[in-house]
Chain A
């Protein structure tokens, strides 16, 4: 991978967080911020330094789900132009339709693929919509 983006990841499931920490270690990502829940989400997201190049959101979590977090970020001037991608294990057809309709810039289905994850991040940071549903 070339881009080495700063990432904000919101995930309430401990093992999925560990997976992302491993990915960050393996890919030697410089900045990986992980939130364990979505309490005070917008205020905390806006305080992350440096500004994330990419936001990965789990969908089913509390108090705000992924859709709610997406709309908060979309209204924040700081996150204009930052790709916001769903990272979820819920990828049955209508769930993916919901993600598209809500305006996510892409979706990475769990399980993710550590070996191709860097290339996928490159694509997203370059502004491509990546819908990786079957991995």
Chain B
């Protein structure tokens, strides 16, 4: 501090006292000394004040640092809790899937066995009732799968099982034969137009089937008469599927909601019979392939749903990372 004061004095005195003009005890120099003393005193006060302020700031800063350290450990604890909760959720969903599917295996197949007449003759009415049980059970299975798939998508843990050179024609044929059972009593013409030059792609067969069947069954649900047509073409680097129906169509203001989970449109809810998760799941599955899904629709005329999947093998880096496999199995 002394050093600093000396510096101040030197600086202050230099301009006002040129060399060779200094005198021992002139009134001028006495007043100058008094002036400097006052200045020094005021500077000392200022320094004391600043020192106190720095000490206060240091205490405050330490408090902030302590708070930060505490907050950091809280965040770390919350992160660990979240990871644990996610693991519990995954295990719960896996066990739900198992616990719900096991009784459905018995319900569907026991009913089928009776309906087939293996245990004795079944009349037409009884067979039809038993087939209703089977259809309802299959519907329940779809709903269970949808809810479980959606929770996988929401938690970002949807994994695809990719194969190279997947031939799309048998998948489309299989979708069409399954869709035949979805039209019920309605007079809808189901047709497929598959281009001859459709390339084999890198894809998850079951998921491509799921995407197309979801859209087909949606189209059949909302179409009373006319046609539902599935077309598959190559367009540049993509294979594009178009599912066209002559159904109720979708109001422009409802079109975005079609792809939002848990937000069925007003007419969708009126028609009932679904979780409203089919289209959001299908779009997520298309995107997980590196592809896209969108729609065009005119109310009362019909809708066109488009799915574009890359014809070339998708860049692995852009796709969801397969999670590390956990060892063992759950009970």
> What is A's interface to B at a CB cutoff of 8 Å?
13, 15-16, 18-19, 22-23, 25-26, 59-60, 65-67, 88-98, 100-101, 109-115, 131-135
Contact = CB atoms under 8 A, between A and B. Distances in A.
Given A92-B90, A110-B104, 12 more contacts: A15-B103, A15-B105, A15-B110, A18-B110, A25-B118, A89-B102, A97-B161, A111-B105, A111-B137, A114-B116, A131-B205, A134-B210
Interface string B60-90: 0000000000000000000000000000001
A123 to B, nearest CB: 12
A22 B113 contact: yes
Interface in B179-214: 205-206, 209-210
Given A25-B118, A131-B161, A94 B105 contact: no
B326 interface: yes
B165 to A, nearest CB: 14
Q: Which 3 A-B pairs have the closest CB atoms?
A: A89-B101, A111-B105, A15-B106
Given A134-B206, A134-B209, A111 B152 contact: no
Interface string B147-160: 01000100001110
A48 to B, nearest CB: 24
A26 B112 CA distance: 10
Contact of A19 (B98, B109, B161, B331): B109
B125 interface: no
B1 interface: no
A110 to B, nearest CB: 4
Nearest to A100: B161
Nearest to B94: A92
Nearest to B326: A94
A115 B112 contact: yes
Interface in B285-331: 322-323, 325-326, 329-331
Contacts of A92: 90, 93-94, 97, 148, 152
B106 A16 contact: yes
5 contacts: A15-B105, A93-B157, A93-B158, A94-B325, A131-B206
A112 B118 CA distance: 18
Given A92-B97, A97-B325, A110 B102 contact: yes
B212 to A, nearest CB: 12
B109 A114 contact: yes
Interface in B159-184: 159, 161
A134 B100 CA distance: 14
Contacts of A97: 159, 161, 322, 325
A96 B124 CA distance: 40
A93 B118 contact: no
Interface in B223-265: none
Contacts, number: 108
Nearest to B116: A26
B151 to A, nearest CB: 10
A132 B205 CA distance: 10
Nearest to A15: B106
A111 B206 CA distance: 16
Nearest to B113: A22
B145 interface: yes
Contact of A93 (B103, B112, B159): B159
A59 B329 CA distance: 8
A67 B159 contact: no
Contacts of A133: 206
B102 A16 contact: yes
Nearest to A133: B206
B108 interface: yes
B23 to A, nearest CB: 96
A121 to B, nearest CB: 15
Contacts of B323: 94
A109 B101 contact: yes
A22 B110 contact: yes
A14 B107 CA distance: 13
A96 B331 CA distance: 15
B204 to A, nearest CB: 10
Most buried by B among A92, A97, A100, A112: A92
A132 B101 CA distance: 14
